[in-house]
Amino acid sequence: MGENTKSICPFCGVGCGVLRGDSGKGHGWKASVNRRGELCPKGVAAYDVLNHADRLTEPQIRIGGDLVPVSWDEAFLRIEQEFGRIVDEHGSDALGFFASSGCTNEENYVFQKLARMLGTNNVDNCARLCHSSTVAAMQSRFGAGAMTNTLDDLGDADCFLVWGANPAEQHPIIFSSYLAPAVNDGTTLIHIDPRENRTTEIADFHLPVKPGYDIPLLNGMCAVIFEEGLEDDEFLRERVSNVSAFRKFISGVDVDECAETAGIAPDDLREVARIYANATRAAAFTGMGMSQHRYGTANVHTLLNIALVTGNVGRCGTGVNPLRGKNNVQGASDVGALPDVLPGYRPVTDSDARKAIADVWGVEPPAIPGLTEVEMTHEFGDGIRGAFVFGENIGATEPNVNRTVRELDSLDCLVVQEIFPTETTAHADVILPASSWAEKAGTVTNTDRQVQQMRPSSDPPGNARTDLEILCEIGRRLLDIDSDVRLSDTSFEYDGPEAVFSELTQVTPQYSGMSYSGIGDGSQRWPLPKGETEGVGVLHRNRFSNGERRAPLVSVEHIDPTAEHSNNDSDSLVLTTGRVIEHFNSGVVTRRSDVLTHLRSTDALQIHPDDATERGVEDGDKVVVTSNNGRIEAKSAVTPSIRPGVVFLTFHFAERLVNRLTGDELDPTSKIPTYKHVRVRVENTE
């Protein structure tokens, strides 16, 4: 406890080691990922707002329309009474649980255990909103929805294919300490993104694909590879199935037509296909530019195809590597904060998996998959009567957020566990003041599957409590409301997070060989089977994680992303969204840091000069952006760095809440929302 206590940065999925230096600023320590102790600006500012005047320090409940401070006992009692009544009147599935990918493995494990012991699988985390499509595609074909490789071995690649990601701003230490040094040493970087951004600055090739047209671009690249005999025949023979059918499908693909559809010059498509296929080791990185689409799962399937066709799986410097967003989005999913799978990604429909959980919990989880995050919000006030939102700001981050906010108010009881007032706490019936990342212990799992320890450097302020303490108390109290549950006296009695971790390793096969002592100041990587001392680095070397020797190729037809839009008029533009380096997600923490807020202005609408001229918009003008779902105002930033027909906004700013514009369409497989392809009109108001 105190200064110089080693912890892990709370923001992105890179997982840099950080401690509070004498100046009160974040200092990097030489941890498993940032081995030289390097940090990005967010890591340096990580301790800035811990004592901010806005911190929630007292429990509150809504009385007569107003939130009023109460004792912890009164707050817990309100939850017991309201959730108890809802379960009695409507059943356990009338409750919805929103887990936190910004909180620890232990907290998320206890949270999903609470939901499932209450009798519902309605528990999800915001992995649903960022990479659920990636996980769906990779899990179904490779048996693991995670980076196939490690940050260390990826330096061996001759070619990086960075698709729909901007690691220079979104994963800055991966970019500066792993990707850029390799590029300086000769690795070719191909950047696929509708926008030129900081990642493009070191790219050898930039293909500004139209948002939503990844499939024709990847199918076209596969066609070039087969036409020119660049496929890896031995790998196809030994490790891949469905090859003949896929060859037949690709033989019907017209490369020039694909290029035109994707908005790319055919020669550029051909050139990058050759470079990727001719590389001895080619590594693909994928981000939300690929995953957050109406057909995001299909997008990722086409990326897996090109990796399999060229033999770029199961070796150092290759693979398909999703760059995960929040600091524990990987771990929250690993430990079961998902509606269709138990800890370790075992389906809730698998009776053996449920039995294994029951052996540890004393209660078998329900067998019917629950609702996903967005589906739960759509059921608010109807199928879902009570919601528990743990460390998430769904009043800002859900698609079509005007609708979400209306739905929040239709709940019988909304419980929010938070550290700051947010767009979600404004609608709460009960607010539970919780601990920031620097006020608690626990583990987090980073983007390349490394589990590391966070440690507290201070206590929660005022009457705030640690998250784990709050969740365990609610567990103890709520399980009494369901007489069907034979709760063991010890179900939520843990002697700290290490005891929770010990339990979760019993039910999460990928973590079964891990321990706090084994992690220590370093990390342990999953999968780490019991009895082994080291986790597996490169996955799928001889067999895929599902035990299969071969993974199938999947033929994916392009589906026009405009087909379902009702406002496809010739005047509309396609809005795409993203992050900038200074801020994180809905900005609840980073926008309270004076340092980060003043680094630069980042909330303008990027628009191409041609589109700006057509609309009489000049750089800096105030514009109104409207979609079928809502309207926002923004300042314009006229720039040729974005392709014509596309505009860009970040999603960090409550004042420009971009999710007022996004829509409800969900990918049919993963249920990820369509954040990256929104039809909008842009009008000058000056």
User: Interface with ligand SF4 includes 42 (CB under 6 A)?
Assistant: yes
User: Interface with ligand SF4 includes 14 (CB under 6 A)?
Assistant: yes
Cβ count near 493 (within 10 Å): 11
Q: For every residue of 2-47, which 3-state class applies, written as one string?
A: CCCCCEECCCECCCCEEEECCCCCEEECCCCCCCCCCCCHHHHCCC
What does the alpha-carbon distance between residue 399 and residue 673 come to, in Å, rounded to a whole number? 7
Provide the minimum distance between the beta carbon of 331 and ligand SF4 in the complex, in angstroms, as a whole number: 14
**Contact mark string toward ligand SF4, 209..248, x via CB under 6 A:** ----------------------------------------
Provide the minimum distance between the beta carbon of 39 and ligand SF4 in the complex, in angstroms, as a whole number: 4
Provide the minimum distance between the beta carbon of 526 and ligand SF4 in the complex, in angstroms, as a whole number: 19
Provide the minimum distance between the beta carbon of 207 and ligand SF4 in the complex, in angstroms, as a whole number: 26
Part of the chain binding ligand SF4 (CB under 6 A), chosen from 34-42, 49-57, 109-117, 596-604:
34-42
User: Interface with ligand SF4 includes 9 (CB under 6 A)?
Assistant: yes
User: Interface with ligand SF4 includes 389 (CB under 6 A)?
Assistant: no
DSSP string, 338-401: SSSEETTTEETT-HHHHHHHHHHHSSPPPSS----HHHHHHTBTTTB-EEEEES--HHHHSSSH
What does the alpha-carbon distance between residue 302 and residue 421 come to, in Å, rounded to a whole number? 41
Q: Which of residues 449-488 bind ligand SF4 (CB under 6 A)?
A: none
Part of the chain binding ligand SF4 (CB under 6 A), chosen from 4-12, 157-165, 462-470, 608-616:
4-12
User: Interface with ligand SF4 includes 331 (CB under 6 A)?
Assistant: no
Quick one: 34 or 292, whose CB is closer to ligand SF4?
A: 34
Provide the minimum distance between the beta carbon of 652 and ligand SF4 in the complex, in angstroms, as a whole number: 13
The tokens of 60 are what?
């509150």
Closest CA to 303 of 318, 324, 317: 318
User: Interface with ligand SF4 includes 16 (CB under 6 A)?
Assistant: yes
DSSP 294: T
Quick one: 11 or 675, whose CB is closer to ligand SF4?
A: 11
Provide the minimum distance between the beta carbon of 17 and ligand SF4 in the complex, in angstroms, as a whole number: 9
What does the alpha-carbon distance between residue 490 and residue 488 come to, in Å, rounded to a whole number? 5
At CB < 8 A and 24+ separation, what contacts does 485-492 make?
A: 485/117, 485/118, 485/119, 485/363, 486/362, 486/363, 487/117, 487/362, 487/363, 488/361, 488/362, 491/113, 491/117, 491/361, 491/362, 491/363, 492/110, 492/114
Provide the minimum distance between the beta carbon of 323 and ligand SF4 in the complex, in angstroms, as a whole number: 11
Quick one: 213 or 651, whose CB is closer to ligand SF4?
A: 651
Part of the chain binding ligand SF4 (CB under 6 A), chosen from 35-43, 456-464, 620-628, 656-664:
35-43
Q: Is residue 438 a contact partner of residue 20, using CB atoms and an 8 Å limit? A: yes
DSSP string, 250-280: HHT--HHHHHHHHT--HHHHHHHHHHHHH-S
Quick one: 45 or 225, whose CB is closer to ligand SF4?
A: 45
The tokens of 13 are what?
């999925």
Quick one: 28 or 220, whose CB is closer to ligand SF4?
A: 28
Provide the minimum distance between the beta carbon of 172 and ligand SF4 in the complex, in angstroms, as a whole number: 4
Provide the minimum distance between the beta carbon of 446 and ligand SF4 in the complex, in angstroms, as a whole number: 8
User: Interface with ligand SF4 includes 43 (CB under 6 A)?
Assistant: yes
Quick one: 16 or 50, whose CB is closer to ligand SF4?
A: 16
What does the alpha-carbon distance between residue 360 and residue 338 come to, in Å, rounded to a whole number? 19
State how beta strands 573-578 and 646-650 pair: parallel
Provide the minimum distance between the beta carbon of 590 and ligand SF4 in the complex, in angstroms, as a whole number: 10
Quick one: 39 or 384, whose CB is closer to ligand SF4?
A: 39
User: Interface with ligand SF4 includes 165 (CB under 6 A)?
Assistant: no
Part of the chain binding ligand SF4 (CB under 6 A), chosen from 39-47, 112-120, 539-547, 609-617:
39-47
Per rule CB under 6 A, count of chain residues that contact ligand SF4: 12
Among 19, 31, 40, 136, binds ligand SF4 (CB under 6 A): 40
What does the alpha-carbon distance between residue 164 and residue 207 come to, in Å, rounded to a whole number? 11
Residues 6+ apart with CB under 8 A from 465: 72, 432, 433, 434, 435
Q: Give the residue nearest to ligand SF4 (CB).
A: 43
The tokens of 370 are what?
């629950």
Among 19, 31, 39, 623, binds ligand SF4 (CB under 6 A): 39
Quick one: 120 or 447, whose CB is closer to ligand SF4?
A: 447
What does the alpha-carbon distance between residue 610 and residue 670 come to, in Å, rounded to a whole number? 36
User: Interface with ligand SF4 includes 12 (CB under 6 A)?
Assistant: yes
Closest CA to 123 of 89, 101, 95: 95
Quick one: 42 or 643, whose CB is closer to ligand SF4?
A: 42
In which residue are the tokens 């597996």 written? 536
Provide the minimum distance between the beta carbon of 484 and ligand SF4 in the complex, in angstroms, as a whole number: 43
Q: How far apart are the first and last CA of the chain?
A: 54
Cβ count near 495 (within 10 Å): 8
Quick one: 566 or 600, whose CB is closer to ligand SF4?
A: 600
User: Interface with ligand SF4 includes 179 (CB under 6 A)?
Assistant: no
User: Interface with ligand SF4 includes 11 (CB under 6 A)?
Assistant: yes
Quick one: 173 or 179, whose CB is closer to ligand SF4?
A: 173
Using DSSP, state whether 289 is helix, strand or coil. helix
Among 95, 161, 173, 538, binds ligand SF4 (CB under 6 A): 173
Quick one: 24 or 462, whose CB is closer to ligand SF4?
A: 24
Provide the minimum distance between the beta carbon of 50 and ligand SF4 in the complex, in angstroms, as a whole number: 15
Among 172, 339, 365, 673, binds ligand SF4 (CB under 6 A): 172
The tokens of 128 are what?
């649903």
User: 152, exposed or middle or buried, with CB in 10 Å at 0-12, 13-18, 19+?
Assistant: middle
Provide the minimum distance between the beta carbon of 177 and ligand SF4 in the complex, in angstroms, as a whole number: 9
User: Interface with ligand SF4 includes 15 (CB under 6 A)?
Assistant: yes
DSSP 434: -
Provide the minimum distance between the beta carbon of 486 and ligand SF4 in the complex, in angstroms, as a whole number: 42
Q: Which helix (DSSP H) or strand (DSSP E) does residue 507 occupy?
A: helix 497-507
Provide the minimum distance between the beta carbon of 28 and ligand SF4 in the complex, in angstroms, as a whole number: 7
User: Interface with ligand SF4 includes 540 (CB under 6 A)?
Assistant: no
Provide the minimum distance between the beta carbon of 285 and ligand SF4 in the complex, in angstroms, as a whole number: 15
Provide the minimum distance between the beta carbon of 15 and ligand SF4 in the complex, in angstroms, as a whole number: 6
Q: Diameter of the chain by CA atoms?
A: 72
What does the alpha-carbon distance between residue 445 and residue 422 come to, in Å, rounded to a whole number? 26
The tokens of 529 are what?
């089977």
What does the alpha-carbon distance between residue 132 and residue 240 come to, in Å, rounded to a whole number? 24
Quick one: 28 or 344, whose CB is closer to ligand SF4?
A: 28
Q: Where does this chain bind ligand SF4 (CB under 6 A)?
A: 9, 11-12, 14-16, 39-40, 42-43, 172-173
